[in-house]
Structure 1
């Protein structure tokens, strides 16, 4: 996850399976202060129930520290054990909630997770927002919010105030965990599990004013599996629509037929 966030724009096929990769931009409305809130609307339609498979996530960077990252998203697990995640990378961070621990992907940072029974075919809003700020640090909170408006705290942590707010660029990725550390040869990777979900392009807030984002780049071939290699097709697709000023995406992974047995 850390690598995905910190090398936005590079090809990741030899590192993780992460398709689609969608870059968004809110515009420079927040100047050199940065945005103080971001929201990702997401609805998962089909997801594996066999344990640690996918991570549907939004990643942002801070204006004042290009090596830091902050991200949030959903992870399907076994029935009744789904997770929501809210984390940050970089030095100088500190947990401010019992659901957060020190460290992020084996490096510096803070990671928060909550076992939350988010349901298929229901819309949720995953939210990151700055709760407070002083001369030395700022506190950020993560929430999952139902379509009916019920908000549940994922966690809270502090980061140095020198990071300032969020950059105008944002990055959605769909990570397939079993390929982390797997063979770099995609022909030796098993075909991925099927999943289907939809997202709306993330929104950001500055001074209580909301701004929709515009997609700047979409990649569907940063990860490959044996099915993609055998059929010579991407095993991920994203259908884009634009309505009432908002972009939305219907996304699928793992839909290709299996590789025929010899």
Structure 2
């Protein structure tokens, strides 16, 4: 024991322990560092690819640094994209709303101009400029058996029906704008729209509607879209009262017009005889 005690008190003992610690730390770093470096290189390459795509297809309106371009008469050609996040770019570009073909009240949905890889690169570049909403995880955009359709329906009717209709059929809005239909929209884009608020849509942050509740909303929209339409024309899902009123006005109105025509036609026949 005294021998071991003398060994531990040797002047070189501290140096040996330090050297051993450095060897262990170096071994761990050499094992883990290549993976991290490879990931960083891949991310940097994707960001650079996105920057090149941005300079060609987006800088004309949003500026070379994505800070926006002011118009001479006020307003801007394109808003600043600094801080909008990857989710906003993925939604706008992935749904074909951007690049904007022409200036109008609202950017319509159309076939995307970029591939999925190019869209991801553009999203990565804009995300590198400043923090912003990220592209959501598939756990919340692809509803599973855990999704509560009933809960999603309650949230949708409370927050979305005023613009999108009770079944997501869309509707007209003031100023020549409109709420688009949701029956053929990917769950990812619905989630991204909720967290970014494109155009006139409000932002529903996770502090307002949790990711789980957003997943339930997506599940409700998908369940409504998959429901069969009995009775022929669906009528936009306006509901029994409005649909009944519409049928009543058209039906009774048609009968009144027919009666007037018959009466007028019969009167002319009598005069001629």
Larger radius of gyration, structure 1 or 2?
Answer: 2
Q: TM-score range by the shorter chain?
A: under 0.3
**Larger RCO, structures 1/2 (Cα 8 Å, 6+ apart):** 1
Richer in helix (by share): 2
After TM superposition, the score normalised by the length of structure 1 is 0.20
After TM superposition, the score normalised by the length of structure 2 is 0.19
